[in-house]
Amino acid sequence: MSALEHKRALLVGVGGLGSPAAIVLARAGVGVIGVADDDTVDPSNLHRQILFDDRDVGQSKVDVAATEILRWAADAGNTRTRVVTHRTRLLPQNARDIVRGYDVVLEGSDNFATKFMTADACAIEGVAVVHGSAVRWHGTALAVGPAGRPCYRCLFEDVPREHSPNCAEAGVMGPVVGVVAALQADLALRSLRGDEVGGELVTFDGLTDAHRRRRIASRTDCPLCGARSIQSIDPSRYAAQSCDAIA
């Protein structure tokens, strides 16, 4: 019996990052895989969101993802894997309730508001989280342990107050997203197996095929894991950008 059979992982978004990561988790034998997304499959998704194909256009992403995750799990002999569907994005009113049911969260959203809200909810609930992002040729994956220190805010501090282009606006290369998703899944699986991955940051440059792995330092004045002034999910904290896009 695999030790992962009793573990629970949540995908925040089953888009360009969540789709390949879901396949890795399923084939690795993670017992429960949660998927949170409120979107439907669009033709523009298909070059990077590899859980879907032309037949799925217009259908709910979480419904299609659930079927495909179980298929990939069964193909690897993991017949006990279950999928829990959350037909919603993470929002201030549900973020803590959703993440607290999991051992690790893989965050693959396409806007800073959701990224920071996921970071805050996981830190408050004591849940490990692996953040991922990819824009143009560059991607990053950051692991945060269940103790929540160092955290996403140690590196990025706060939601940008000026507009920052997301992958839909700036463009993203499908293979780069796939590499970042693999890095996320690796960090998440190591976390589930008990490895100390908190603070591990991996960056990938798709133009040079180079990646760099290092540990980030915590900040004593970090409002989330240092000063700990963030103890609740206040909607006004994420109002600079809407929480409505998933990569």
DSSP string for 11-49: EE--STTHHHHHHHHHHHT-SEEEEE---B--GGGTTT-
Say which CATH number the domain at 189 has: 3.40.50.720
Residue 111 placed within a domain? yes
Q: Is 219 helix (H, G, I), strand (E, B) or coil?
A: coil
Q: Identify whether 243 is a catalytic site residue.
A: no
End-to-end alpha-carbon separation of the chain, Å? Answer: 34
Q: Report residue 241 CA to chain centroid gap.
A: 18
The pTM (predicted TM-score) of the whole model is: 0.93
Q: Summarize the confidence of residues 75-91 as an average pLDDT.
A: 96
Q: Is 135 helix (H, G, I), strand (E, B) or coil?
A: strand
pLDDT digits (tens, 9 = 90+) for 22-68: 999 999 999 999 999 999 999 999 989 999 999 999 999 999 999 99
Cα–Cα distance for residue pair 245/121, rounded to 1 Å: 18
pLDDT band at 163 (very low <50, low <70, confident <90, very high): low
Residue 244 placed within a domain? no
Q: Is the pLDDT of residue 157 over 60?
A: yes
Active-site position among 122, 151, 154, 167? 167
If you average pLDDT over every residue of the chain, what do you get? 92
Other CB atoms within 10 A of residue 207 CB: 10
Could you identify the residue written with the tokens 């999910």? 233
Burial class (CB in 10 A: 0-12, 13-18, 19+), 119: buried
Domain count, the chain: 1
Q: In terms of Cα–Cα distance, which of 55, 68, 50 is closest to 174?
A: 50
Residue 202 placed within a domain? yes
Q: Domain range spanning residue 168?
A: 3-238
Quick one: pLDDT at residue 243? Answer: 44
Q: What are phi and psi of 227, to 5 degrees?
A: -70, -20
Quick one: pLDDT at residue 171? Answer: 65
Cβ-proximal residues to 77 (8 Å cutoff; 6+ apart), any chain: none
Residue 246 placed within a domain? no
pLDDT digits (tens, 9 = 90+) for 103-116: 999 999 989 999 99
pLDDT band at 246 (very low <50, low <70, confident <90, very high): very low
Q: Is the pLDDT of residue 126 over 60?
A: yes
Cα–Cα distance for residue pair 125/122, rounded to 1 Å: 5
Q: Summarize the confidence of residues 223-229 as an average pLDDT.
A: 90
Residue 65 placed within a domain? yes
